[in-house]
Amino acid sequence: MNFRTFAAFVGPSVFMMLLFIAFPLVSVFKQSFYVTQPLYESVEIETCTPGFLTQTCVTETVSQPQLDEEGKIITQTQFVGWESYRNVLEPERAWRAISDGNWNVLSTINFWKALRFTLTFTLITLPLVIVCGLGIAVMINNAAQAIRGPVIFISLLPFIITPVIGVLSVNWLFRGDGILTALLEWWLNRDIALFAQAWTIEILMMLYRVWHVAPFAAIVFYAGLQTVNQDSLESAVIDGATRWQRMKYIVIPHLMPLIIFVSMIHLMDSYRVFEEIVGFASQGYVISLQWLTYDFLVPDQAGNRSISRASASAMLTMIGIAILLIFPLRRTWRDHKGGH
């Protein structure tokens, strides 16, 4: 395929990605090194606001942005270098905490707190998703032909359900005296508050994520199991291989590309864990990197937002994912080269 044909085929797709992803990405990258802020001036102003029955008027000095002739806010943009990254990472504080060996202090610094949780979350759910997915796939494959259809259908439900709704429904089941918590309390005969400490919330989040993603892994693996070479399985049986050995030496290697595919998708998605934080309202205990970016970005009541720090934090998240993806990607490169 020559270059022009290739370009014609991928052109529309590349154009859309350039316009809506690459272009904003460049601006995010740029913003992480610049700070844009309005020029404030101090003015004395009388403000009257309603009380319950009467009005209260106060005169005070407030900071107000200056406006130009057209009535737009005058802003100035400054190159600040790595300052926003420093403000996100807080290296001095982190370093002091590390050199004191004081991990508790380190875990109260936002970025490191978020990184700690994000990594734990990603690295614990990854094997769980793979193992559960594989287990479900093998079990479905074992089941009688007649029930496979309904079982696959039920298994897919947690995957297709809208994430926000999924989180909320899990939230209701466990929050306060939600029925599952009530059940646990009745069973263990003690008072349980699952949303009152970090570790229970973390476990709930991970369980939710596995519940949500394992079906995807399962269906992909199940599809892979349909193409396992039956002849080699049978000859393995004749050679006296146990069930476990057949699984290990024939089925798993056959599924390996799929396992890598699922891992890659899962790494990317779980490193950007966000819905769980918002849905479980866990900010008081655990936060994630994506939540941190979001928090910088969302304007406060008075409309201020930390665009520069949000950009820096978004760039850091991307770098983190890129590092995690190097391992699975090396293989894709080999395949790509080998395939032609």
Partner 1 sequence: MSSRALRQPLSLRLTSNIFLTFWCLVAIFPIFWITVMSFKSPVDAFDSNALNVIFGPTTLSNGNGLSLLDIILGIAVIWGTIALVSKKMPAMIKAYSKEGQEWFGWVIGILAAAVGFLVVFFVILPAILSVLNPLFGPLGRDILGLTTEHYKTVWIDRGFSNNFKNSLIVTSGVVILSLSVGTLAGYGLARSGSNLAFWLLIVALIFRALPPSALVASYLPVFISSSEWLAPILGENAPTLYGKPFAVIAVLVAINQPFTIWMLRSFFQNIPAELDEAARVDGCNHFQAFRRVIMPVMWPGVITTGLFSFLLAYNDILVTSLLLDAQNQTMVPAIVGMFNRETTTTDQVVAVAAAVSITAPLIFLVLIFQRQIVSGLTAGAVKG
Partner 2 sequence: MKLKTILMAGAMSFAAAAAWADCAYENEVPLKSLSAGFEAWKAVTDAMAECGNFSASLDQEFREKQPEAFAANPALYQIGGVANETMIPLLNAGSLRPLDDLVEKYGQDLLPNQLIKVDGKIMAIAMMVNAQHLMYRSDVLADLGIEEPKTYDDVLVAAAKIKEAGVMNYPIGGTFKTGWNLAQEFVNMYMGEGGEFFGEGNQPSINNEQGVKALETMKAMTEFMDPEYLVSDSTYVQQQFQQGKIAMANLWASRAAAMNDETESQVVGKVTMASAPMGAAAPSTTIWWDGVVLAANMSDEEADAAFRLVMEGMDGEMVSANNDVAVWLSPAYTPGDLAAGAAASAENGAKAYPASAPMGVLHSALGNGLADYLTGAKDAQTTLADIEAEYLTAAKEAGLINN
**Which 179-198 positions form the footprint of partner 1 (CB under 8 A)?**
179, 182-183
C-beta of 31 vs 263, nearer to partner 2: 31
Region of 11-19, 187-195, 208-216, 227-235 interacting with partner 2 (CB under 8 A)? 187-195
Among 25, 28, 29, 87, binds partner 2 (CB under 8 A): 87
C-beta of 271 vs 285, nearer to partner 1: 271
The interface with partner 2 within residues 157-176 (CB under 8 A) comprises 175-176
Choose from partner 2, partner 1, none: what does 47 bind? Cβ within 5-8 Å by kind.
Answer: partner 2
- Minimum CB separation of residue 313 from partner 1 in Å reads 8
290 in Cβ contact with 275 (< 8 Å): no
Q: Does 250 sit near partner 1 (CB under 8 A)?
A: no
- Minimum CB separation of residue 54 from partner 1 in Å reads 26
Choose from partner 2, partner 1, none: what does 189 bind? Cβ within 5-8 Å by kind.
Answer: none
**3 state SS of 109:** coil
Buried b (16+ CB within 10 A) or exposed e, 191-212: ebebbeeeeebbebbbebbbbb
Q: Does 46 sit near partner 2 (CB under 8 A)?
A: yes
E strand or H helix that includes residue 112: helix 110-142
The interface with partner 1 within residues 273-312 (CB under 8 A) comprises 274, 289-290, 293-294, 297, 307, 310-311
Q: Does 155 sit near partner 2 (CB under 8 A)?
A: no
- The CA distance from 182 to 175, in Å, is 10
For β-strands 40-50 and 75-79, DSSP reports them as: unpaired
- The CA distance from 22 to 32, in Å, is 15
For β-strands 55-65 and 40-50, DSSP reports them as: antiparallel
List C-alpha distances in Å: 181 to 191, 194, 197, 206, 325: 9, 8, 15, 17, 38
C-beta of 80 vs 159, nearer to partner 1: 159
